[in-house]
Amino acid sequence: MLKKRNKIKQFFLLIILILTALSGCGEFKDIDKDVFVSMIGIDLSDDPEKPYKVTLKLYVPTSSFKQSPKPEYTYLTKNGKTLTEAIRILETHSDKEIDFGHSKLIVIGEELLNANKSKEIMDFLLRRPDIQMISWLAIGRPSAEEIIKMVPQSETAAYPALFNYFDHNGTDSPYIVTTYLFDFRRKMLETGIDPILPLIEINKEEEHFEVNKSYVLAHDKKPHELSSLDTLIFNMMTRNLDVADLVINEDNQHFIAKIDNINSKYKVKVDAQHQVKLNIDIELFGYISESKDTISNQQLPQYSKMVEAETREKFSDFFIKMLNVGYDPIGFGLAYKSKTLHNKRMSPNEWNEAYKNSKVNIKVMAGIKSTGSIQ
């Protein structure tokens, strides 16, 4: 009995020996020998041989955030034939190991976007296991490098100001589209929905970012820019927005309606001749937040009518634009697919044609409930 136990003990001792031997070959690297990437910027370079220009924004760790509340970053930039090559060269430029695990934002330069290289970029971003699938993707104007290298006044250490635009923790503006990497991937691959990316611009004089426009894109197609208003309409259609402002300018009445409750629904109907009908239902509730003229409480129904008319006009403008360029950021094609058996579906090409010729039916119901605190 006792002897058997001793043998077990010896066995354990042997294991401990193996463990200690193994600890020699284990990869043991301390956190302060790593440098964390905060953002990745990808641009089109001037050199046609090496088309990719990668810019990395790296956090510089400080011993105490209390002593140095100002953010500190270093930047690495390199051209490369491929993205991996550029990053491999960058790694030789840094004395520490570059860790992509903390990178939260990927900015793609506007020029690169137009150069139609999204497939290669996506492949690179998805293939690397250390790049988060929950990183945000955005377009940078004029270039990703400039976006990445700008540090606005309001920035605090360890959390770049740019992140606040996307994480719905700071500003929650109705003009910002948030696209995660996995969301971009699925929309890119799926026929019947097209990815949309926010556009980050720089306001040079005031040194801050502006994020209120966006881009819709697809394979083998020229990307289409959405204006602020279009971006707002896109968000009203897809996100559960809490607030939106609508400027009404009609029949000598000029006021701004603050919408605090938006319900939007859409239905895709296809008849036997492959004629697509897009039925869009919008319900808006809100109050008047600003007006040039005096506003009367009794006339609220009229104001609602005006809002309805104005909204219908703007929405139909948006959809006509989308149908003309053949982009489908909302996902009507997907809605169609989710309701039709796979063997009865139109082919992607058929659908694209049908979509371009579809009839848009917009129904708006607006309810202006108050004129605000004053009449």
Partner 1 sequence: MSRYYYYLVLINMIANVIASVPAILLHFHDDGAVSAMIVSVVAGSTLVFFFTRFFTHFPGMTLPELLQKTTAKWFYNPFILVLAITWFIAGMITLITYTFLLIRYLTPEMPIIQISLTILLAVILGCLMKTDRVFYTIEIILLLTVPLIILIFIKAYTNENLRWEFVKEAALYFNQFPNLNAFSACFFLYLGSANLIIFNRFFKNKQNFGVKQITLIVAISIMTLFTTYFIPIGFNGVEGIEKLVYPWITTSDSLRMKFSLIERVLFIFLLFYLGIAFLSILIHWHVSIELLKYVFNFEKFKFKGFKFGVFLPIPFYIGVSLYFVRQLNEYQLFRLSGIFYNILIIFFPMMLILFFFIKRRMKNVKKAEQN
Partner 2 sequence: MSSEEILLWIKEQFKNTTELTQKTLDYDNKHALLFYVKSLIDQESLQKLIIKPFFEMANENQFKAYLIALPQFQKVESKEQAVSEVTNGNTLIVIQHDLYLIDLQLATNNQVSTTSVETTIHGSNIALSENLMTNINLIRTYYHQASLSIEYFTKGEVNQQKIAIIYDKELVNTKALEIIKQKLQQLDQQVISASTELNNYLNDKRFSLFPQMLMTERPDRIVYNIAGGKIALILDGNAQALIAPAVFFDFMTTMEDNYHTLFISLFVRILRYAGLFVSLLLPGLYVGITSFAPEVFRTELALTVAGSRIGVPFSSFVEVLFMLFFMELLLEASIRLPKAVSATATTVGGLILGSAVTEAALASNIMVIIVSAVAISTFVIPVNELAFTIRIVRLILLLITSVFGLAGLTLGLYGLIMYLVYLDSFGEPYLRLFNYQKAKKSSEGQA
Point out which residues bind partner 1 (CB under 8 A).
3-4, 7, 11, 15, 22, 25-27, 29, 129-130, 132-134, 167, 169, 180, 182-183, 185-187, 189-191, 240, 331, 334-335, 337-343
Single residue of 63, 153, 294, 298 touching partner 2 by CB under 8 A: 63
Residue 22 touches partner 2, criterion: CB under 8 A: yes
Stretch that binds partner 2, among 61-69, 210-218, 250-258, 293-301 (CB under 8 A): 61-69
159 binds, among partner 1, partner 2, none (CB under 5 to 8 A by kind): partner 2
Q: Is 30 in the site for partner 2 (CB under 8 A)?
A: yes
- 11 is a site residue for partner 2 (CB under 8 A): no
Q: Within positions 35 to 54, which residues make up the interface with partner 2, using CB under 8 A?
A: 36, 38
Give the one entry of partner 1, partner 2, none that residue 190 binds, where binding means its C-beta sits below a cut-off of 5 to 8 angstroms depending on kind. partner 1
The whole-angstrom separation of Cα 43 and Cα 266 is 37
Stretch 236-265 residues interacting with partner 2 (CB under 8 A): none
Q: Minimum CB separation from partner 1 for residue 278, in Å?
A: 15
Chain position carrying tokens 């300018």:
249
Q: Name every residue whose Cβ is closer than 8 Å to that of residue 202 and which is 6 or more positions away in sequence.
A: 141, 142, 146, 147, 150, 208, 209, 210
Answer whether 296's CB lies under 8 Å from 368's CB: no
Contacted by 75, from partner 1, partner 2, none: CB < 5 to 8 Å by type = none
Q: At its nearest, how many Å lie between partner 2 and the CB of residue 208?
A: 22
Q: Which of 50, 61, 183, 225 binds partner 2 (CB under 8 A)?
A: 61
Chosen from partner 2, partner 1, none, partner binding at 221 (C-beta under 5 to 8 Å by type): none
Q: Which does 7 bind (CB under 5 to 8 A by kind): partner 2, partner 1, none?
A: partner 1
Nearest residue (CB) to partner 2, 63 versus 343: 63
Both tokens assigned to 154 = 């309001």
Q: Quick check: 62 binds partner 2 (CB under 8 A)?
A: yes
Q: Which of partner 1, partner 2, none is residue 272 near (CB under 5 to 8 Å by kind)?
A: none
CB of 363 closer than 8 Å to CB of 319: no
Cβ-based nearer residue to partner 1, 39 or 364: 39
Closest separation in Å from C-beta 240 to partner 1: 8
Q: Which two tokens stand for residue 333?
A: 């094609």
Shortest Å distance, C-beta 264 to partner 1: 15
Beta bridge partners of 256: 247, 290
Residue 262's identity, in one-letter code, is I
Q: How far is CA 260 from the centre of its chain?
A: 23
Is 102 one of the binding residues for partner 2 (CB under 8 A)? yes
Residue choice 19, 133, 134, 320 for contact with partner 2 (CB under 8 A): 19
- Number of Cβ within 10 Å of residue 191's Cβ equals 17
Distance in angstroms (rounded) separating the CA atoms of residues 109 and 107:
7
Question: Of the two residues 27 and 271, which places its CB atom closer to partner 1 in the complex?
Answer: 27
The angle formed by the CA atoms of residues 332, 338 and 343, to the nearest 5 degrees, is 115
Q: Which residues bind partner 2 (CB under 8 A)?
A: 1-2, 5, 9, 19-20, 22-23, 26-32, 34, 36, 38, 59, 61-65, 99, 101-102, 104, 130, 158-159
